[in-house]
Structure 1
Amino acid sequence: MSSRSPNNKFSSSSLWNKYHFFILLLAAIVIKQLPLVSIPFNWLESYFHEISHGIAAMLTGGKVLRIQLFTNGAGLCTTQGGISFVISFAGYAGATLWGWGIYKLASAHKKIAQIFSVLIFLLLLSSIVFWGRDLLTWFILGVLAFLFLLTIKLHKTHYLQRLMQLFGLLILLNSLSSPSYLLDGRHLGDGATLASITYIPELIWVLIWFSIALLALYSLYKTAKK
């Protein structure tokens, strides 16, 4: 029979406290490379991208007509009214903010992580009721809602806290890479819309969104070091 000494427990705890950001970041990078496992997290980033468009529309006097999500990680938020520039910019920037916020709030306290997980679950349910219009979108939103329901049901809030941090990093990593998909030569999407509004090339907007995501990731790294 073997036993684990208090010193070993203390050593493991110290290593986790020192390197937990890198451990979670590595786990997020690995998950992104797994074809099936990564799918729900691609949907998650897509949802936060589209809901950010919707929130921007509502905050600028418009409204959301529908949200559509697709199996390949693409999405569409149809809005009416509001300020076009703010709505178009908010998608990629908003997804980054969601990822950064989820990690930060989960890191602050276990109870805060639990409360925020409940709020996201309720937001997903609201999206199903008010903005989902097709079976595929309802299915994807249902999967995401179930994902957060599982985190809420975790008996140990410590594990919920780590899962929420992992979710935040996965959203951030997707926010880093997803703007590059706009550079496909078709001049479609948020970058093309902003280019037509401001006459600033689409590439510049892609670089801005990439920089925001990179700064958010660096901010979490600096906080973890402290």
Structure 2
Amino acid sequence: MTANWELKNCCKNDQVAFLVSVGVFTVIILVLWRTILLTPFKLITVFLHEASHALACKLTCGHVEGIEVHANEGGVTQTRGGIYWLILPAGYLGSSFWGMVLILASTNLLTARIAAGCLAVALLIVLFVAKNWTLRGLCIGFIIFLAVIWLLQELTKIHILRYIILFIGVMNSLFSVYDIYDDLISRRVHSSDAEKFAEVCHCPCNGVAWGVIW
């Protein structure tokens, strides 16, 4: 049996639209990467990175003392206890995971609604453990933003909820890769998760190696 490389009838119209949307969003994000327009979406990605650390801490029976997201696109999660070598990689890998979840959720209106609702609830919960006003403002701002998008979806003909969820998903997926590159390859940030992981595991691999592996 020979392979069919013509790819005729390989995708339905909605699948083509989905792939085109991912491609367009990727180009838009890369073009606008260093502009202020993407700053809120970068900060929500940093939030999901730090929230992943917090979730890994709670799942390994640790205690989350606080979460911070800074205006310079940095962040920190203060934890006590838990399994440190699982908490450290959860940030980079968590960003990729949540990006995948949001991208998949955007393919269906019901799952997009669920994703938007879960994201709003997560932001509301984190609002009460946030340690700085940048994160508090981000939580409040994005809850309002998601509520407005939801109302537009339900009450008007502006049906963009799925595209907003897809955009945030693509942003997370790209940012997680960029974050590893920026922290470990283009420059060495010795306080990065991968550098700390290299110290904890006492293995020959340095932070750069762990970043590439992740």
Q: Same fold (TM over 0.5)?
A: yes
Partner of 1:207: 212
8 Å CA contact retained: 1:114, 1:157: no
In 2 relative to 1, CA 138–167 (structure 1 residues): closer, same or farther, beyond 3 Å? Answer: same
Please list every run of 5 or more consecutive structure 1 residues that lacks an aligned counterpart in the other structure.
1-11, 210-226
8 Å CA contact retained: 1:182, 1:188: no
CA–CA separation in structure 2 for the residues paired with 1:18 and 1:98: 18
Displacement of 1:163: 1.4
In 2 relative to 1, CA 193–154 (structure 1 residues): closer, same or farther, beyond 3 Å? Answer: same
CA–CA separation in structure 2 for the residues paired with 1:95 and 1:80: 22
Displacement of 1:192: 1.3
Is 1:122–2:93 an aligned residue pair? Answer: no
1:65 is paired with a residue whose SS is strand
In 2 relative to 1, CA 37–186 (structure 1 residues): closer, same or farther, beyond 3 Å? Answer: closer
CA–CA separation in structure 2 for the residues paired with 1:17 and 1:49: 25
Give the partner amino acid of 2:120. F
Displacement of 1:15: 6.5
Is 1:98–2:101 an aligned residue pair? Answer: no
In 2 relative to 1, CA 25–185 (structure 1 residues): closer, same or farther, beyond 3 Å? Answer: closer
CA–CA separation in structure 1 for the residues paired with 2:19 and 2:61: 45
In 2 relative to 1, CA 44–186 (structure 1 residues): closer, same or farther, beyond 3 Å? Answer: closer
Displacement of 1:118: 1.0
Q: Which has the higher helix share?
A: 1
% identical aligned pairs:
23
1:37 is paired with a residue whose SS is helix
Deviating beyond 6 angstroms after TM superposition, the runs of 4 or more aligned structure 1 residues are: 12-15
Q: Which moved more, 1:84-93 or 1:179-188?
A: 179-188
Match of 1:193 among 181, 193, 196: 196
Is 1:44–2:49 an aligned residue pair? Answer: no
Q: Which moved more, 1:186-195 or 1:111-120?
A: 186-195
Displacement of 1:106: 1.4
1:150 is paired with a residue whose SS is helix
8 Å CA contact retained: 2:105, 2:111: yes
Q: RMSD in angstroms over aligned alpha carbons? A: 2.1
**1:72-87 maps to which residues of 2 (within 5 A)?**
72-87=72-87
**1:28-43 maps to which residues of 2 (within 5 A)?**
28-33=29-34, 35-43=35-43
In 2 relative to 1, CA 29–186 (structure 1 residues): closer, same or farther, beyond 3 Å? Answer: closer
In 2 relative to 1, CA 32–154 (structure 1 residues): closer, same or farther, beyond 3 Å? Answer: farther
2:49 is paired with a residue whose SS is helix
2:67 is paired with a residue whose SS is strand
- Residue by residue over 1:5-53, the C-alpha shift from the partner in whole angstroms, topping out at 9 and shown as x without a partner, is xxxxxxx9897366333223223323424x1101011101100100000
CA–CA separation in structure 2 for the residues paired with 1:22 and 1:185: 30
CA–CA separation in structure 2 for the residues paired with 1:171 and 1:150: 21
CA–CA separation in structure 2 for the residues paired with 1:102 and 1:85: 26
2:37 is paired with a residue whose SS is coil
In 2 relative to 1, CA 44–14 (structure 1 residues): closer, same or farther, beyond 3 Å? Answer: closer
CA–CA separation in structure 1 for the residues paired with 2:50 and 2:126: 11
Q: Which moved more, 1:63-72 or 1:172-181?
A: 172-181
CA–CA separation in structure 1 for the residues paired with 2:191 and 2:25: 34
* Count of matched residue pairs: 195
